[in-house]
Amino acid sequence: MGTRANTIPIINKTYCSSSQVVLVVRRRPHVTSGGGFVVTDCNQKVIFRVDGCGILGTKDELILRDGDGNGDALLLIRRKKGGMVEALSMYKKWKGYTFDYEGSQKLVFSLKEPNSCLVRNNAMKISTEPRVSNKDWDFTIKGYFPDRDCSIIDTKGNIVAQVGVKKEVKELMASKDLYHVVVKPGIDQAFVFGIIATLDYIYGESTRC
């Protein structure tokens, strides 16, 4: 219990906390804000913003931004178009890229979306660059995101981040526009919300047109 958590800076160590963090996701309405969502801390400070198709005007593309006044782009997330290869594959691939100071893109994660993603128990696999484990994947997503009940799990079976809805929120809201995400110590929060943004798009939620 007293040991210090290993820090896993996939996007940037700035987004790794030494303690567990609970962040709140609020979806933006398409009509007034173009969709996407905002991530805040317990003090309602904006930590991240996610722009989807309604703002970018581009399908199969998302941007995770820093929540400060500049709103710098931290991650560009795209679905890789594979033509016939993709059509024959069991998976669709999403890739997340960071930007360096000159604007060049660097691959930091890949997510395999099963073609039958609507099956509730169909786990998705995530690999990172550089690799975190010696397997062909580093994390899996278990549970069902549309139910606001899913987790990101490492290769040892540890939950590194968990999506949920507090009981009092469930009772007050019939919609799923508000939910919380628990991020474990040492885990890159920007990476976690890059994955959540991808899930939001896959399941046709706020980031879709």
**Residues, the chain:** 209
Residue 113 — pLDDT band, cuts 50, 70, 90?
confident
Q: Which residues make beta-bridge pairs with 38?
A: 26, 49
Percent of the chain with pLDDT over 70: 83
Cα four-point dihedral sign 68, 72, 74, 80: positive
Q: What whole-number distance in Å separates Cα of residue 63 and Cα of residue 197? A: 9
Residue 68 is predicted with a pLDDT of: 80
- pLDDT of 63-80, one tens digit each? 999 998 677 899 999 998
Q: In this predicted structure, what is the pLDDT of residue 2?
A: 38
8 Å CB contact between 67 and 39: yes
**What is the reported pTM?**
0.89
Mean pLDDT confidence for 76-100: 77
> 21 vs 41, 47, 187, CA distance in Å?
8, 12, 10
Task: Report the first-to-last Cα separation within the chain, whole angstroms.
Answer: 45
Residue 153 binned pLDDT confidence (cut-offs 50, 70, 90): very high
Mean pLDDT for all residues in the chain: 85
Q: What is the pLDDT of residues 158-205, one digit of tens each?
A: 999 999 986 655 555 556 789 999 999 999 999 999 999 999 999 999
Flag whether pLDDT at 91 surpasses 80: no
Amino acid making up residue 168: E
Confidence label for 30 from pLDDT (cuts 50, 70 and 90): confident
Predicted confidence at residue 66, as pLDDT, reads: 94
Tell me the CATH class for 13-202: mainly beta
Place of tokens 């594959």: 89
Asked whether 34 and 28 are in contact (CB, 8 A), the reply is: yes
CA angle (103, 105, 109) in 5-degree steps: 145
